[in-house]
Amino acid sequence: MYSPYIFVIVLATLMFAFLGEASFPPCGTKPAITSGRWSRIFGGWGARYGSIPWQINLLENGEPKCGGTLIHPKWVVSAAHCVIVSFINTNSMKVYTMIAGDNDISKQEVYEQSRWVIRAMVHPDYNKATYQNDIVLLEADHEYSYNNYVLPACMPRFDETPFPYTSCKASGWGFVNPFLTPDILQEVNLPILVHKSCEVIHHPGPRVPSQITDKVLCAGHLKGKKDTCQGDSGGPLVCPRYGSNGLGEQVLYGIVSWGVGCGKVGKAGVYTNVNTFAEWINKTIAIPPIYNDDPCRFSGIKIQHKAEGEINSPGFGSHYSNNLQCVWEVDLSDITSPSATAKIQFENFDVEKDRDCKYDKVKIYSGDDFDRLEGVYCGDRIPPSVTLSKTRSAHPSLKFRIIFTSDNNIGRKGFSVRFKISD
Ligand SMILES: [Ca+2]
Ligand SMILES: [Ca+2]
């Protein structure tokens, strides 16, 4: 006979095990940063890797465009003015990718996770003339997997808004001065402004409705210098949850929306007030998800502005599937140094063997139009490295394309290849 007591204990243990897994990792924490120090865009400083694990780098056609905030394994919140289509599909001229776990945009970091935006839900009342309701939810084609460098920010609880003068933090890769965007993610501490004084600052004049409604928050230093700027749009403004003494959960209260200039005296940045959109956010992320199950899905992500990176074949390490055609394009043409070279080196290689590579193969092309074949590879020996240099007229732009094809049977482990710019 089963004792109900034992049954309860077993159930409780199971529940703890489940909760233990489900509750890890908590939102709004930065486990990679052991000291818990709030280190510090305009007038900010470089963030340590892992100190803003909810930060998203949003790219449009491979070019850095905006920031965003991870709030769910499949959803990122950003500013509506960052994306120019209300529904992203294959007919769209613009493609968006989102990188989590990024810190230095010039190189691929170990915990980076790149995803396609498969759907963009712009707020139905977004007004592009006044920037009212400047919020969009972006659905990743696959869940991000959480680790110490990729974690969501906490969402505000019902009616939870930061008190004026609370020290909050904004972050992004936007302009650090009028001429320069950084490689390293920047962060800046900004106090929340009294709403009334923000209305006065941004008062448009008589008979024009104020843009400073309860749907926005203002944050900044009236003495200028520290601020968010162009390129930071869509990124997070987080504040410590009240009562957690600045060491606890970071809550996403604001989304970088607009300002008048950057870091100007007497001005303050305007942020979408996330709290007022909580209901819309919850409703939207509850819709049935869309997935992109193409095994080559990561291959089309364009790689630009990077001094180094790594490319893996689909399912690398176990085995690749049949009938693949994956294409990776790396465009390093913005590397200005005339003596720069790009070295492409395979680190692992196991592709179905044939003397003429007639079954499965990896091809590397270079040249402005990717029309110069550098090599065709298969088998289990690491191919020789390929070096592209700007001084050789064949590839002055340091662009290359890797094409991987497999036939209809026999898959092997696949390959990983690294590229690195040196001068
Ligand atoms: Ca990076
Ligand atoms: Ca094969």
Centroid of ligand 2 to alpha carbon of 114 (angstroms): 27
Question: What is the average per-residue pLDDT within 332-345?
Answer: 88
Decide: 146 and 140 in contact? Cβ < 8 Å: no
Annotated catalytic residue within 78, 104, 123, 134: 134
Structure tokens at 312: 């893996």
What does pTM read for this prediction?
A: 0.88
- What is the pLDDT, as a whole number, of residue 92? 58
The ligand minimizing its distance to the Cα of 350 is 2
77/274 Cα distance (integer angstroms): 10
The ligand minimizing its distance to the Cα of 64 is 1
Q: What digits encode the pLDDT tens for the residues 109-148?
A: 999 999 999 999 999 999 988 999 999 999 999 999 999 9
> Is 395 annotated in the active site?
no
Q: What digits encode the pLDDT tens for the residues 192-233?
A: 999 999 999 888 778 888 899 999 999 999 888 899 999 999
Specify burial of residue 123 (Cβ count, 10 A radius: 0-12, 13-18, 19+): buried
Decide: 56 and 77 in contact? Cβ < 8 Å: no
Q: Choose between 420 and 206: higher pLDDT.
A: 420
320/404 Cα distance (integer angstroms): 10
> Is 81 annotated in the active site?
yes
Give CA torsion, residues 104, 107, 111, 116, to 10 deg.
100
The ligand minimizing its distance to the Cα of 323 is 2
Centroid of ligand 2 to alpha carbon of 379 (angstroms): 11
> Is 360 annotated in the active site?
no
Structure tokens at 299: 């291959």
